[in-house]
A and B are shown apart, each in its own frame.
Chain A
Amino acid sequence: MAIKNVVALKTIVIKEVLRFSRIWVQTILPPAITMTLYFVIFGKLIGSQISKMDGFEYIEYIVPGLILMSVITNSYANVVSSFFSAKFQGHIEEMLVSPTPGYIILLGFITGGLCRGLAVGSVVMLVSFFFVDFRVHSVLVTIFVLLLTSILFSLAGFINAIYAKSFDDISIVPSFVLTPLIYLGGVFYSVNMLSEFWQAVSLANPILYMVNAFRFGLLGVSDIDLTLALSMVFAFTVALFGFCLYLLNKGVGIRA
């Protein structure tokens, strides 16, 4: 049965990767263009007027946040749109009637989200090389944070898709929750610039921990203690995985 599960997982991953690859003009290209604009406008034009942050030029300082922002939004978008479409078109039944266990289905969709997140993240990183010249401070931390963040937001997208009943429902969370959290998660600034009150409020934002841990991985600077940041991201990921599995096995949103 274990080999069959591996084949089933491979099938879901191939299906997911082919899905976003076929429509690369909608999935890979737009984030690359958007991030190029961010680098040009916020990095070069406006950033040149801003003093150094933690010893780095402003454009260097925002690169980790921008890469992570594209990973977060694309991992989330991939899973939420793919799983909701499967529900909406009914072809989720292909998996549900098969002997594929719930955790394999979940791992398949997460891996799909991870692949898209990393694909877009890599493209954005390549784009950033045209604007900044930096060396990775810690490859291990960088990769670890990148993977965990992508998995975490794939799981979040999965939960959104499970509860969504219409296409509106899958755009509400990204627009009204995810985007504000990303922008207030220290992508464009250091939380040390904020008053004590807003610094305390910012600590409730999980994205702050990811951005800072990733910034540490790339630049070696962080507003948050690295161990705390990594522990928080890891804890969130484990909790969401458990919750997703519970929803899937219970059949919430997919079984009558």
Chain B
Amino acid sequence: MNALLIENLQKTYKNGHVALKGISLTVKKGDFFALLGPNGAGKSTTIGIICSLVNKTSGKVFVFDTDIDVDFQTAKSRIGLVPQEFNFSVFEPVEEILINQAGFYGINRTEARKRAEYYLKKLELWDKRRTIPKELSGGMKRRLMIARALVHEPELLILDEPTAGVDIELRRTMWQFLRDINQQGVTIILTTHYLEEAEMLCKKIAIIDEGNIIEDTTMKNLLNKLNKETFVLTVEGSLEHLPATGDYTLRCVDESTLEAEIIKGQSLNALFDILSSQNIKVLSMRNKTNRLEELYVNLITNSSNKSSVLT
């Protein structure tokens, strides 16, 4: 079953800006799906249309096989949204925000209170239940947005840059939380600018650029497209000259750091053997950039070049 099916979705804003040029997308039930793209690519417009915050120009959107043009109420009852910007009422304490949100989904106050308590405890906000949002830290506000989106227990959770501006420790806690709810059966669509986050969490990925989907595949397939990877090697002692390594391309960053480009088909073991034969001992190794990041930049650059040729 599809959690989300988008067919030929187009959006032209009143000022004439064409945000979506007929995108189609399928997200299967249970997926952890990444929707990536640069700023202004059309990610938030797509999410806005799915959640009824933006009017579409044309195209079709189905949420769990329900056409939003036919029965938007049923479709909306199955979606939870974590928006990009904080959008709380300044007057309402944390607990009340959750109770009210549940109420908008038709959940009575007794049940809403129980759910608010559960999610606030789960996201470590229970102690702050009487606090108003402006007195919360950035990380707490992000967690509150997630709790608010979950209080009606949606089957499809859409997160628009949920970890923007969040410190790494909290980000990791949130990743684990999202993994857990995905394993419990909640389909998740995530947009993020942290590509390692998408690589770590998502099984499927779509990349949108200038209103077009330029890639829609599994994370594994996408990463297989990577032709070369750059590794940073830290070596013991000081290098006097760049070692001779045959087909391998090496660059010297400083006297004890090398950058090695490994083309698809080349072996890292063979490189280590060559270095070892020259008495160069590798102490540590890491990717220069995230693998997905390298691919992403290539895809976006190619897409931009194509469109600039066309125009």
Contact = CB atoms under 8 A, between A and B. Distances in A.
Given A89-B89, A93-B87, A256-B13, A98 B53 contact: no
Secondary structure class of chain A's binding surface, majority of residues? helix
Interface string A72-100: 00000000000001100111011111111
Contact of A251 (B55, B81, B83, B105): B55
A5 interface: yes
B87 A99 contact: no
Contact of A94 (B54, B55, B109, B148): B148
Interface string A200-236: 0000000000000000000000000000000000000
Interface stretch (A7-15, A63-71, A113-121, A141-149): A7-15
A22 interface: yes
A94 B101 contact: yes
Contacts of A15: 92, 100
Contacts of A91: 87-89
B118 interface: no
B52 interface: yes
A98 B104 contact: yes
Nearest to B72: A99
B85 A90 contact: yes
A11 B54 contact: no
Secondary structure class of chain B's binding surface, majority of residues? loop
B108 interface: yes
Nearest to B158: A97
- Which of A3, A4, A86, A98 counts the most B-chain CB atoms under 10 A from its CB? A98
A255 interface: yes
Contact of B77 (A19, A99, A251): A99
A255 B52 contact: yes
6 closest pairs, A vs B, by CB?
A4-B106, A11-B103, A90-B87, A98-B104, A99-B73, A99-B76
Given A8-B104, A93-B53, A93-B83, 8 more contacts: A10-B103, A98-B101, A98-B152, A99-B76, A99-B104, A100-B104, A256-B13, A256-B54
Interface of A: 1, 3-5, 7-8, 10-12, 14-15, 18-19, 22-23, 85-86, 89-91, 93-101, 251, 255-256
Interface of B: 13, 45, 48, 51-55, 72-74, 76-77, 79, 81, 83, 85-92, 96, 99-101, 103-109, 148, 152
